[in-house]
Structure 1
Amino acid sequence: MREKEPIYLGNRIHLIDGFDMGIPARTGTYVIDEEALTLVETGPSPSIKYVKKGLTSLGFSLNDVKYIIVTHIHLDHSGGAGVLLKDCPNATVVVHPRGARHLVDPKKLAAGARAVYGDSFEELFEPILPIPEDRLLIKGEGDTLQIGTNCTLEFMDTPGHSRHHFSIFDPLSNGIFVGDTVGVYYKQLAREGIDLFLPSTSPNHFDPDAMHTSIERIRNMNVDKIYYGHFGMTDKVNLALNQASKWIDEYVELGEQAIEEGKGYDELSERMLQRVRSYLKTLHVSDKHDVYVILNLDMKVCALGLIDYFQKLKRQ
């Protein structure tokens, strides 16, 4: 695989491609070049070799890393934290209050991902190393973290994708690191001038009302930039938030129809994919575009989350 140099995004922030699932521009690690060198997201463990090489190319050593922030504990965002931390002797992992215990003991987290990814789990995520409690720093709603003389990051609780999710406001860029809470940015299309932002409704905490609320909170902040877990930065903030909000409602509508008809997640994921495909056809995107490698997988995982959400509603 041909590795890419870290991408400079301005405002002393770089992005290292983690090649999650062997796919470029799928997940990445943000590097905030401050007095306390700070990383946002690690990706899964197989991505850590790319993170390390990226840091070296930027002129940093692993000893320089002071904070490793994970927006939430899904393995494609935090799974590599234990592996990376092992080689970063001066680093602390920053996590949401609801996520801390799962980083200390990741067995339940791993079991949940194994149920979704099946036989691919080991290749995609192993090894998953526990993180010692004394190397965790818990941050929740309204908390801050000073990483430089003139830079204090601000944390805000942003559920919807998961209940263990925060977003991080960076005042120097007037930008916000959002993990998955306002969706996925498909950079494969952005290279061709097409901006596609879709919500991530993966199991098992998806909540459309909470996701809408988080989107509106971020909209009201008037940020200039959004930094996505998948993948990269956009300065088209209103467009991004509007699209995510619209597609949440479309996904929920499709989910309701599938449940009423007694259909399972396979049928739902196909309907979701066809809805997105129909939209992209209006933008003259070929059915053979490489973005569909990711969209096929994303719709399957999102359909699982929607089915799980409606099943929980029935039990209430």
Structure 2
Amino acid sequence: MYHTLDLHFQNLNHAIAAFLIETEGGPVIVESGPYSTFPSMEKGLADHGYKVSDVKHVLLSHIHFDHAGAAWAFAEQGATVYLHPFGADHMHDPTKLVASATMIYGDQMDTLWGKMEGIPKKKLRTVAHEEVLEIGGESFRALHTPGHAKHHIAWHWKDTIFTGDVAGVKIEGGPVVPPCPPPDINLEDWLHSIDLVLSKNPNKLALTHFGEEINPNIHMKELKEILKDWSLWIKDKWEAGMSNEEITPEFMSYTAQQLRDRGVSENGVKQYEAANPSWMSVAGLVRYWKKKQI
């Protein structure tokens, strides 16, 4: 059994999760969340009888701020952070990562994500595809699953796969949607990664955004369909000569209506937008189509 910790990002329920697995060797955390939500992380751990310093192992799906922004704070308290080889340099020295994000988020950086500091190399442990970590009597298999990000890992534990973003965003029983940020969205890789996850025959998917999915095959089929729908919708607008700034409000309206048509409340629409901002998917998918054209 694992515990889902709601990190209450932007004071919203069910936007960003972390996961706590209790082992014979102490607690293992999957996803650190951003540092802005660290008080919620501390409370979640305390609710299960742990302190941050009790956590010696943090497994990251990838290095985007909403998944990895607080990893340094665990490392500072003695944890080893496990991640994809492509992400290690950026976590050791996040200068470029922070600079790139600051160009996008500006003066919202601290409010959204909080600070991000470097992690000593001795506290970073890269893992190969299909490598198995043995921690406290439990086995965690790393599945390299690019598509959303080239440095993405889904973690397979028992009958559950902690999917990061490869299985999309699904909040409170609503439809699944794909987060498509720049710079390295790759639809072909993503579809292959979906098939890889399903090939492991999991009974459950644990989504960072948000919670447990008990019908993996149906979920992933719907994700493939909406990934195609969104990518082609944005391709049409881009090929018509629209800029990202022009596409974004139309895309926001288009996807919000998709959610409403599936019974999502107005508050739910806000939760989806917080977990998966429309401008981000526009930027990522336009970049994908531009690269395809080259």
Structure 2 length as normaliser, TM-score?
A: 0.94
Rounded to whole Å, the distance in 1 between the matches of 2:32 and 2:256 is 31
Rounded to whole Å, the distance in 1 between the matches of 2:31 and 2:4 is 10
Which deviations, in whole Å up to 9, do the C-alpha atoms of 1:233-275 show, x marking residues without a partner?
1102122101110011011111211111111223333333333
Mapped pair 1:178 → 2:163: yes
User: Which residue in the other structure is 1:145 paired with?
Assistant: 133
SS in 1 for 2:116: coil
Please give the root-mean-square deviation of Cα atoms over the aligned residues, in Å. 1.6
Question: What is the deviation of 1:279?
Answer: 3.0
Match of 1:22 among 2, 11, 34: 11
Which deviations, in whole Å up to 9, do the C-alpha atoms of 1:30-74 show, x marking residues without a partner?
000012321000111111111111111201133321201110000
Aligned residues: 291
User: Which residue in the other structure is 1:200 paired with?
Assistant: 179
Q: Which runs of 4+ in 1 moved over 4 A?
A: none
Do the aligned partners of 2:15 and 2:272 also contact (CA within 8 Å) in 1? no
Match of 1:100 among 88, 104, 117: 88
Relative to structure 1, the CA distance from residue 285 to residue 142 in structure 2 (aligned partners, 3 Å threshold; closer, same or farther) is closer
Rounded to whole Å, the distance in 1 between the matches of 2:291 and 2:185 is 11
Relative to structure 1, the CA distance from residue 232 to residue 271 in structure 2 (aligned partners, 3 Å threshold; closer, same or farther) is same
Question: What is the deviation of 1:85?
Answer: 2.4
Rounded to whole Å, the distance in 2 between the matches of 1:257 and 1:15 is 39
Question: Share of identical aligned residues, percent?
Answer: 27
AA aligned to 2:54 is D
User: Which residue in the other structure is 1:259 paired with?
Assistant: 238
Do the aligned partners of 2:14 and 2:271 also contact (CA within 8 Å) in 1? no
The unaligned stretches of length 5 or more in structure 2 are: none
Question: What is the deviation of 1:285?
Answer: 4.1
Which deviations, in whole Å up to 9, do the C-alpha atoms of 1:280-304 show, x marking residues without a partner?
3433445xx1122234452221111
User: Which residue in the other structure is 1:294 paired with?
Assistant: 271
Mapped pair 1:55 → 2:45: yes
Structure 1 length as normaliser, TM-score?
A: 0.87
AA aligned to 2:221 is N
Alignment of 1:161-310 (within 5 A): 161-171=148-158, 174-187=159-172, 190=173, 195-286=174-265, 289-297=266-274, 298-310=277-289
- Of structures 1 and 2, the one scoring higher in RCO (CA 8 A, sep 6+) is 2
